[in-house]
Amino acid sequence: MEQLYKRPKCIQPMQSGYCPGCLHSLATRITAEVVEELEQQNNCILVLPVGCSTMGLLYWKIDMVGSAHGRAPAVATGVKRCSKNSLVFTYQGDGDLAAIGLAEILSAANRGENYTVLFANNSIYGMTGGQMAPTTLEGQKSTTTQKGRDPLTTGYPMRMCELIATLDAPKYVARFSLHDPANVRKAKAGIKKAFETQLAGGGFTFVELMINCPTNWGLTPLDSLTYMVENTIPVFPLGVYKDVEV
């Protein structure tokens, strides 16, 4: 029988520890496919921060560096400057990147560091039990906004692609979603474009991936995908925000 679908070799042959239906695992898979399609599995370094993305340390079979919460962009800066020919990327959650690491990401983007940031936005702090993140929707319930996020006291959802696209240095800034197969294919093409831009020496590239957190949203995996279509994606419009020829 012909095998149509295989595990990428740079992913460990093991069951993922992500909650059932969590799109972190799909983000990991398509990123691994791109790494292999570009033949970078022996030439890439993943910088992981804190959050459910940290579990990548268990699954990837590539070089990796751990960093403190929100600090992956600073660590990736050092890694890439010391290893200019490596494909360097971070994989960060929204609490990590848009809250505690906000200064790090904006500064790295503004310096135009030549690496790629993959930003997994599930609009909540997943790993720690569902607290509000800067990306939490207006009215969305979390353990720290039990009556729903009120912008008067906690601000509005922060749109990182739009913010980063205003800076001069970044070369590719785009937001995709992983809620259905057609969008997964677009996301994979976006990750590939970002990696190719980096390998061409282009500069800072940023790919946001809209994902879910069924566990902390209190929804079944299927209902969480509907929630994305009806609630999160309208607040975080998909598309390419910046694409500079390199």
With a CB cutoff of 8 Å and minimum separation 6, the contacts of 90 are: 46, 47, 48, 49, 72, 73, 76, 115, 116, 117, 118
> Stretches 9-17, 18-26, 88-96, 111-119: which one binds Mg ion (CB under 5 A)?
88-96
CA-wise closest residue to 93 among 60, 58, 50, 64: 50
Q: How far is the CB of 148 from Mg ion (least distance, A)?
A: 18
Is residue 52 within 8 Å of residue 25, measured between CB atoms? no
CA-wise closest residue to 40 among 15, 61, 66, 54: 61
How many residues contact ligand TPP, by CB under 6 A?
Answer: 19
Is 33 one of the binding residues for Mg ion (CB under 5 A)?
no
- Measure the CA–CA gap between 211 and 90, rounded to whole angstroms: 16
> Stretches 75-83, 110-118, 179-187, 211-219: which one binds ligand SF4 (CB under 6 A)?
211-219
Q: How far is the CB of 82 from ligand SF4 (least distance, A)?
A: 31
Among 96, 104, 113, 208, binds ligand TPP (CB under 6 A): 96
Half-sphere exposure of 238 (CA within 13 A, CB side): 18
Residue 206 site contact among ligand SF4, ligand TPP, Mg ion, none (CB < 5 to 8 Å, cut-off depends on kind): none
Residue 194 or 213: the one with the smaller Cβ distance to ligand SF4 is: 213
> Stretches 59-67, 110-118, 120-128, 197-205: which one binds ligand SF4 (CB under 6 A)?
120-128
How many residues contact Mg ion, by CB under 5 A?
Answer: 5
Q: How far is the CB of 84 from ligand TPP (least distance, A)?
A: 28
- Binding residues for ligand TPP restricted to 99-118, rule: CB under 6 A: 100
Q: Is 31 helix (H, G, I), strand (E, B) or coil?
A: helix
Is 102 exposed, middle or buried, given 0-12, 13-18 or 19+ CB atoms closer than 10 A?
Answer: middle
Among 92, 114, 116, 122, binds ligand SF4 (CB under 6 A): 122
**Contact track, ligand TPP, 126-165, x by CB under 6 A:** xxx----x--------------------------------
Residue type for position 172: Y
The phi-psi region of residue 22 (left if phi > 0; otherwise alpha if psi is between -120 and 50; otherwise beta) is: beta
- Measure the CA–CA gap between 223 and 51, rounded to whole angstroms: 23
Is 60 one of the binding residues for ligand SF4 (CB under 6 A)?
no
Strand order in the sheet with 44-48: 63-66, 44-48, 87-93, 116-121, 205-210, 172-177, 239-243
Is 49 one of the binding residues for Mg ion (CB under 5 A)?
no
- Measure the CA–CA gap between 240 and 160, rounded to whole angstroms: 13
Among 8, 10, 11, 24, binds ligand SF4 (CB under 6 A): 24
Residues that bind ligand TPP (CB under 6 A): 50-53, 69, 93-96, 100, 120, 122, 124-128, 133, 213
Residues that bind ligand SF4 (CB under 6 A): 18-19, 22, 24, 52, 122, 126-127, 213-216
